[in-house]
Copies of this chain bind each other. A is one copy, B any other.
Amino acid sequence: MGATYHQFCPVAKAMELFDERWTLLVVRELVLGSKRFNDLRRGLPRMSPSLLSKRLHQLSAAGVVERRTVGDEVHYTLTDAGLELRSVVEALGSWGARWIGTLGDSDLDPRLLMWDMHRRVDTSAVPVGRTVVKFRIRDVQQRAGDWWLVLDGHDVDICDVDPGFDVSLTVSATLRGLTEIWSGDMSWHEALRAEVLGISGPESLRRGFPGWFVLPRTSDVRRALPGRPSISSADS
C-alpha cells in the first residue's frame, strides 16, 4: 500500500503509514473517542466511505486499530500502539495551533464545527432537563446554517433539521467567528462584544452557555504568529 522509504529510521517507518492522506485524521477521530464508522465519517466529511474503509483496514493491519463487533454495533478502537499515537496527534495539533496563520474560507465548515462542538459538551454543566440550543450561522445559506443542539442529561444530539422541540436559547454567529472561538483565537466574551456572536434567551442560560463546552485542547496553545487575528480591541 504505502510506499516504503527504504530507510531504517523509525521516523521514516512511521511516516510510511502516516504520510498517506487522511490516515492521521482517522487516528485523530479515534483519539477523540469516535468508534463507529458513520461517526468517523461525520468527523471526516470530505473523505469517501471507501477510502475510510481502506484506511481502517490499513490501520488495522498496522496494529493501530482493532475492529470489534459489540452487540449489533461495529466498533473501531485504538490498540495500545494506537493509543500512544495521541502524543503524535497532540504534537502536530500544538504545532499547527501555534504556527498556522489565518484559516482560509474553505477550511470553515459548519457541519464539522457543529459536530465537534456537540461532542465536547460538558453535560454536567448544562441545566437538568431538556435544553435546546438553536444555532444560526448567519453567513451560511439557510439549510446549512441552521442547527439544533439537543441536550438532555448525558445525551447530546446535533440536528440539521428542526427536531421540533421548544428552543431554549438561540445563538447567532458568523461561521468564522464561531470557528475562531472554538479554535481559541477569540473568547466567547470578545466575540459577543465584537458582535460576531449573539445569544438570546433567558439570562441564566445566556450566562451559563459558554461553560457548557470544553474547548479543544489546542485552543489553549499559545500562538506564535500574530495569527488568526483576534478582535483587535482598543479597550480592555
Contacts and interface: CB of A to CB of B under 8 A. Distances in A.
B8 A103 contact: yes
Interface of A: 3-15, 18-25, 28, 45-46, 63, 80-81, 84-85, 87-100, 103-104, 106-109, 112-113, 116, 179, 182-183, 216, 218, 221, 224
A218 B95 contact: no
What are the 6 A-B residue pairs with the smallest beta carbon separation, nearest first?
A10-B96, A14-B96, A10-B97, A91-B91, A81-B99, A88-B91
Given A15-B92, A92-B14, A99-B63, A25 B8 contact: no
Contacts of A5: 22, 25, 46
Query: Main secondary structure on chain A at its contact with chain B?
Result: helix
Contacts of A81: 95, 98-99, 224
Contact of A106 (B6, B10, B224): B6
B80 A85 contact: no
A180 to B, nearest CB: 9
Contact of A8 (B4, B24, B28, B113): B113
Nearest to A85: B95
Nearest to A2: B21
Copies of this chain present:
2
A25 B4 contact: no
A179 B8 contact: yes
A8 B87 contact: no
Contacts of A98: 81, 84
B13 A24 contact: no
Nearest to A15: B24
8 contacts: A5-B22, A7-B46, A9-B96, A10-B93, A10-B95, A11-B93, A14-B95, A88-B91
